[in-house]
Amino acid sequence: MKYIFSLAIVVAIFLVTLSSCGNSEIPQTSSSQDSQNATTPYPDPDETSTSETSVSDNTPTPNETNNANETNNANEANSTQPTHRDPIIITSMQAQEMIYNEMIYNEMTQASSIIILDVRTQAEFDQGHIQNAILLPYDEITATALTIIPNKSQTILVYCQRGRRSNIAAWALADLGFTAVYDFGGISDWHGPIIVPGHMQIVFNYFGQLPEETVSPFDFTTTQYISQDGLSLTFTLHGYATRTYMRNFDRTLFWPNYLYSVHTLTITTPGGQLIQEITGLETQHPIASAYNMYGLSFDDFNFDGFMDISLWAFPSGSMMNAFSYFWLWDVHAGLFVQNDSLMEISMGATVYTVPEDRQIATFTRHTASSFELGRYEYRYGNFVAINHQLHEFVFYDSYGNPWEGWRIAETNHATGIVTVTYEAEETEG
């Protein structure tokens, strides 16, 4: 019995050994192919033999593989996207694009979904801030932000002077639970509108080179009654608007400056029939509005009952050598005729009519303490000087005695006589 048990053990060991050896010699073609197909469903053609290869039933179909790839790509994209819980750093240009895409900058309202948050001090804010910005100093955010901005999903654009405080403020807002906070650094990099309290214009940060000037055509049309019997004509100025830029002394700010140049005046009936076209004009006017009409005005300069035209030329940007074009209505020709004598009188002078005297009056400023008044009459197509008064503020009278007042030298052009009078400076008692 003992020998039989021992023999059984030996036989079992032999069978186990034989089984192990046999398995090591079995080809692995099928399982190896399955493994290759599972990991590479579309083998590289350069690595595939010319013989036909069997594919196991577990190999994914092309549709299944595409779906799996799309799922994996989506998961990878989601895993790399920043959470809106953290502040997002953007450039000032990106911030401007966000604002402009939301609404036109000069029409922003409280209903906007974007808040521009200035986290500097009150003094810095008063010296100049981005248009429509709300002031909330960075060290007050934790205590007051939720009161000022109760909606935590509100899009908030944060800036300071250079970028340090805006970073602190952006993270403080994120810690309070705001989910759309964007930090675009400092106002020193901002190229958009900046409001300076007390300044007449919207100014812009000077950073780098000034913007290039732009030139664009413009037309201005107005209708004017020429006579009391109802004759009216339409006047259209044609010219160019040039936008340049000016900057302050320390080169920290610059602002747009406009100059309007007229080259043609077209006169038509209200129905559009051409009456006259005056070309070759050279004017420069710094203001554009319907009120001043680019220097165009109307008056009866020769007192014949018909309105005449004047157009301020302002050729070199100085009142000291400015003149105006003048055209007087010719009843017989039915046209406006340029009057050279009145143009010459207007050189450096303000011209206006005195209907009760049927005269033209002029005012010319020479210096801060000297000016001149003139009177002219219209005679046979020309304006003739009648008299002039030169007013000068002096500190001595005609005898050399100390005295403060105005010395008035009046010249009568008909007789050539000059009369000098003195008027004491009036002082408050």
CB 373 within 8 A of CB 362: yes
Query: Using CA atoms, how far apart are residues 140 and 391, in angstroms rounded to an integer?
Result: 62
Q: Across all residues in the chain, what is the average pLDDT?
A: 77
Report whether pLDDT(36) > 60: no
pLDDT band at 75; cut points 50, 70, 90: very low
Q: Which two tokens stand for residue 321?
A: 């050598």
Tokens 């009150």 label which residue? 122
pLDDT at 305 over 50: yes
Helix (H, G, I), strand (E, B) or coil at 267: strand
What sections of 88-225 are H helices per DSSP? 92-102, 122-127, 141-148, 164-175
C-beta separation of 112 from 100 below 8 A? no
- What proportion of the chain, given as a percentage, has pLDDT over 70? 69
The answer to whether the CB of 283 falls within 8 A of the CB of 202 is no
Structure confidence at residue 33 (pLDDT): 38
In the chain, what is the greatest distance between 2 CA atoms, to the nearest angstrom? 171
| Angle in degrees, 0-180, between the axes of helices 141-148 and 164-175, rounded to the nearest 10 | 70
Average pLDDT value for residue range 145-155: 92
Q: By the 8 A CB rule, do 332 and 323 touch?
A: no
What does the block give as tokens for 7? 């023999």
Q: At which residue do the structure tokens 């509108």 appear?
A: 193
Reply yes or no on whether the pLDDT at 35 is more than 50: no
Q: Does the pLDDT at position 25 exceed 50?
A: no
Cα angle at 104 between 241 and 140, to 5 degrees? Answer: 125
Tokens of 306: 């018909």
264 secondary structure, DSSP code: E
Question: What is the predicted pLDDT for the residue at 190?
Answer: 82
pLDDT score recorded for residue 400: 78
Catalytic residues: 160
312-316: Cβ within 8 A, 24+ apart: 312/283, 312/285, 313/281, 313/282, 313/283, 313/284, 314/283, 314/284, 314/285, 314/286, 315/282, 315/283, 315/284, 316/284
Quote the pTM value: 0.54
pLDDT of residue 213: 85
Question: 105 or 93: which carries more pLDDT confidence?
Answer: 93
The residue with greater pLDDT, 88 or 322, is: 88
Report whether 170 contacts 158 (CB < 8 A): yes
Reading phi first (left if > 0) and then psi (alpha if -120 to 50, else beta), residue 123 is in: alpha
pLDDT computed for residue 15 by the predictor: 53
Residues in the chain: 429
pLDDT digits (tens, 9 = 90+) for 330-344: 999 999 999 999 999
